[in-house]
Structure 1
Amino acid sequence: MPGAKTLVIVGASYAGVQLAATARELGFEEPITILGDERHAPYQRPPLSKGLLTGKTTVDQLQLRGPDFFTQNRIDLQLGQRAAAVDAGARTVTLADGRTLGYGWLALTTGARCRPFTVPGAELDGVVELRTLDDALRVADAADRTKRACVIGGGFIGLEVASALRTRGVEVTVVEAQPHLLTRSFPPIMSAYVENAHRRRGIELLTGRGVRALHGTNGQVDAVELTDGHSVDCDLVVLGVGVLPNVELAQAAGIAVDNGIVVDAFGRTSAPRVLSAGDVASMALVPVPGGPTRVRLESIQAANDGARAAASAVVGREQPNTAVPWFWSDQFDLKFQMAGLPVHGDEVVTRGDIASDKFSLFYLRDGVLVGAHSVNKPAEHMQSRKLIAARAQPTAAQLADTSFDLKNVPTAAT
């Protein structure tokens, strides 16, 4: 069958491009095809809710790899091509235009999409979601004409957009249905800090309320009606209500799905010679007592680490993904850096003065460091990743003492 030895990658994402690059680095010589359903060449996503909205980043600076990369590495990048079906038994991918591609290995790096927002008025002009480059360009264009914006959803993306718009001089209200911001990611002390930080910088936060409807005049949104009867006047609404993994191809092909495509530590799915990585993948984790056994992470680091592991399976030299998860978020002048996967119930230790906007929170579980959240403390973030990977056991007193050098925490390696 034509293409029967080809590595076909569905999704021109971070994970898709990294998987192709690593496969070549590891010596894979067979053809590689990447299918991307967007018209844009693969691009960076974090700046979409940060630098692109503030003007610090231009569209030209977003490219993941230059055009020469794909040519030099003999990677057939096909843009504007949507995969419609996978036949895992026949090892074929059918495209929306009717073509069928055979594969030797298939990688599903299909990412995620914005969660539907179905309240009345969601179809009004001036209501935008933010996931793709085209979405971000619409928000940036609208911001030039916007006096007041309402961001629905107080997660990381929503808060990044809010801070970027406020930096541009737009009045911003953030509406969050939960009683506090980021309650699934942060303990109460950190949630309270984020709320205070945004309020101090001019953001209006309305928490513990949902959205009943959006209202407009002549087809243009001009107000958000909340469930408590409150109304937010605005001429731009940005939706930050979360994402859903794009699992439909895998599900229809009979591949195991559970809040993402289920993969092992090598990115292997339940179907032979089918891999997955990135935002769509539900990854098996290195076992940590009291922690999750698998997780779907929406971060560049998880995408790249998972893609490298999947590429190692392609060439038959399997290297599991054992990296400590980490990610970051830029909001105003604050750089949040998170490492590990702490859970509610872990002991929380504060290092530094929270009021100074430079501090870290460390998380101990049965005496073992399992997570760290830092604000404007990059060196502590980097050291915490090493300590978490080594399953180090610093004392709470050591972590809290800013005069104690974290490099002196003993690990198994030392």
Structure 2
Amino acid sequence: MTTQPPIAIVGAGLAGAKVAEALRDRDYPGRIVLIGAEEHLPYDRPPLSKGFVQGKKTTDDITLLPPQWYRDHHVELMLGTEVTSIDRSAKTLTLPDGSTLEYARLALATGSAPRRLSVPGADADGVHYLRTVEQSEELIRVLGAGGRLVIIGAGWIGLEIAAAARAKDVAVSVVEAAELPLLGALGPEMGTVFAELHREHGVDLRLDSGVEEITTSEGSASGVRLTAGDTIPADAVLIAVGAQPNIGLAKDAGLDVNEGVLVDGALQTSDPDIVAVGDIAEHDHPLLGRRIRVEHWATALNQPRVAAATLTEHPATYDNLPYFFTDQYDLGMEYVGFAPRGEYSRVSVRGDLSTHEFVAFWLDSADRVLAGMNVNVWDVTDAITSLIRSGRSIDVARLEDSEIPLDQV
């Protein structure tokens, strides 16, 4: 190890830990300092709304690397520490006690925070958000107590917690402003599938509904009053209305930002000594020909390899397609590709929607596959990815024929 300034990594979630790991995998010999606001070792967040909240996984299960790994690989940990500013000219980070840390190069992996809901009662006791282990543990206690849970937001976290709650016989209502769940992510065709799934499992799904107030009794949440006037009684409320990327540090440092931190194909920011990865990276995607920002686990998992290459002056290009997954009740799903609502022409299906065993494909006007989603059908993601990357028009009849392997379409 040298005594030169380190590569500093701000953010000790999945993306930050993977940058450190990727640097050592590349035999980077210098100092690495990993700085995180939470006290915990870096851990995986998807289980917080899946296996962890269901009691199927422990904190040890979701911890990414054991303490010994950081010692053996000489990665210095500064946990429970939130960087307050970046001085790009001096190449220093300011820490909460006013001291500074000099860096040679910098990786920003500051992740996201839950979007807050600005309605009366949103700060009452019994109102929950989900981002950290502690918040998931609190939800475990809520679900264990039974009663009535109202979830505001029918996105991935809201629906996954709804499924976990119903598995414990908790009465669940989900309030969503859009006319269907997951409308922005999947469009109406597949949003309908998830609406039906949750209704089949006894969820009171309130769609096209706004929230006027979280009502309280003796300072604790007692219900959710909708803009239509009716009130849903609640013993607890979960607010799950999306995430806000933590770009304040980058913005204050004068880096180019939009909805996220702007990075090129090599994940380099407007400062050549700084990269950004994970939730905050608004990435110039070479395959899609546009900037995208993807708040999903696979991005935080896979971008660090490219970031580490760029940090060590061997820039690579990140061209992975967006990927995400969910588990709700007996439905397991993987999605790969990019097909925003309004940018595809139709959805084609092979398999049976009614039995939740199918593959859906989002197609453009030339019948090129933009994205695919396999539901309870496994080992097809690589074939779907190949169809997307090919950029060719597809014979839709063959695409929908389950007897024809996808790699022969």
Query: What range describes the TM-score normalised by the shorter chain of this pair?
Result: over 0.9
Given that 1:3 and 1:104 are in contact with CA atoms closer than 8 Å, whether structure 2 keeps it comes out as: no
Equivalent runs, 1:186-201 vs 2, <5 Å? 186-201=186-201
Q: Aligned residue for 1:353?
A: 352
Aligned match of 2:119: 119
Distance of 1:243 and 1:177 partners within structure 2: 16
Give the 3-state SS of the residue equivalent to 1:93 in structure 2.
strand
Matching of residue 311 in structure 1 with residue 316 in structure 2? no
What is the letter of the counterpart of residue 87 of structure 2?
D
**Deviates most, 8-17 or 279-288:** 279-288
Equivalent positions of 1:76-155 (< 5 A) are: 76-155=76-155
Q: CA deviation at 1:187?
A: 2.4
Give distance in 2, aligned partners of 1:334 and 1:3.
52
Matching of residues 14-413 of structure 1 within 5 Å: 14-288=14-288, 293-343=290-340, 344=342, 345-365=344-364, 366-409=366-409
Structure 1 equivalent of residue 9 of structure 2: 9
Scaled by the length of structure 1, the TM-score of the pair is: 0.95
Aligned AA (1:241): V
Q: Indicate how the Cα distance of structure 1 residues 29 and 346 shifts in structure 2: closer, same or farther if over 3 A, else same.
A: farther
Tell me by how many angstroms 1:367 deviates.
Answer: 3.3
- Structure 2 counterpart of 1:312, which letter? A
Please give the alpha-carbon distance, in whole angstroms, between the structure 1 residues aligned to 2:91 and 2:45: 31
CA distance 1:89–1:272, shift in 2 (3 Å): farther
Percent identical among aligned pairs is 34
Give the letter aligned to residue 225 of structure 1: R
Contact 1:41 1:63 (C-alpha < 8 Å) held by counterparts: yes
Q: State the alpha-carbon separation in 1 of the partners of residues 390 and 315 from structure 2.
A: 22
CA apart distance, 1:5: 3.3
Alpha-carbon distance in 2 for matches of 1:378, 1:5: 46
**2:177 & 2:368 partners in 1: Cα distance?**
34
Q: Is the 8 A contact 2:146 2:169 kept in 1?
A: no
Question: Structure 2: how far apart are the matches of 1:378 and 1:392?
Answer: 24
With over 3 angstroms needed to count, the CA separation of the structure-2 counterparts of 1:283 and 1:3, relative to structure 1, is farther
Secondary structure, aligned partner of 2:185: coil
Aligned equivalents of 2:135 and 2:3: distance in 1? 35
| Stretches of 4+ aligned residues off by more than 6 angstroms | none
Distance verdict in 2 for CA 1:4–1:257, change over 3 Å: farther
Q: Which amino acid aligns with 1:333?
A: D
**Deviations for 1:275-331, whole angstroms, at most 9, x for unmatched residues?**
10001111111243xxx6011111121112221111001122211101121110111
Which amino acid in the other structure matches residue 224 of structure 1?
V
CA distance in 2, matches of 1:34, 1:390: 39
Displacement after TM superposition at 1:3 (Å):
6.6
Residues paired across the two proteins, number? 405
Contact 2:4 2:30 in 1 (8 A): no
Give the match for residue 412 of structure 1.
none
Alpha-carbon distance in 2 for matches of 1:378, 1:219: 48
Q: How far apart, in 1, do the equivalents of 2:251 and 2:329 lie?
A: 40
After superposition, the C-alpha distances for 1:187-233 in whole angstroms (9 at most, x for unaligned) are: 22211111001100111100111110111211221111000011111
Q: Say what the alpha-carbon RMSD is for the aligned residues.
A: 1.4
Matched residues in 2 for 1:23 and 1:387: separation? Answer: 32
Aligned-partner SS, 2:184: coil
Query: Residues 173 and 205 of structure 1 are in contact (CA less than 8 Å); yes or no, is this contact kept in structure 2?
Result: yes
Query: For 1:4 and 1:274, how far apart are their aligned partners in 2?
Result: 17
1:382–1:90 Cα change, 3 Å: same
Q: Does structure 1 conserve the Cα–Cα contact (< 8 Å) formed by 2:94 and 2:100?
A: yes
Contact preservation (8 Å) 1:88, 1:272:
no
Provide the C-alpha distance between the structure 2 equivalents of 1:29 and 1:123, rounded to a whole number of angstroms. Answer: 47
